[in-house]
Amino acid sequence: MNTDPKHEATITLEFDSDETFDGLPEHTIEFRIDFADMTAHGWFSLFEKIMGVQGFSELNIMRGATNLAFREGRSTEDMRKVAEEYDLKLIEDLEKSDDDTEAPI
């Protein structure tokens, strides 16, 4: 008898037929996930798919993820680490580099 705990999740999205969701007929979408070894990137990938099914554009999904990473209240040092990982610069860092490159008066 297998006594190992299950690491599964089932996410079900149900849309009724009132046609308020882009005029689609009634339908159900189900995701089944084995999340035993799922990373943070895996979770975000899953929710990207769920948001896509719900009609969000790729651009809005990217904006939401970016807002999550770089919103007010986050540690500037942590944001800087994420920015560097993706070859981005924070505005604060751009302002510092502009100050460094100005010619002395």
Residue with more model confidence, 6 or 44? 44
pTM reported for the whole predicted model: 0.62
- Rounded average pLDDT over 53-73: 92
- Rounded average pLDDT over 53-63: 91
Compute the mean pLDDT over every residue in the chain, rounded to the nearest whole number. Answer: 80
pLDDT bracket for residue 95 (50, 70, 90) = confident
Instruction: Tell me what pLDDT residue 92 has.
Output: 85
Residue matched to tokens 């990373």: 39
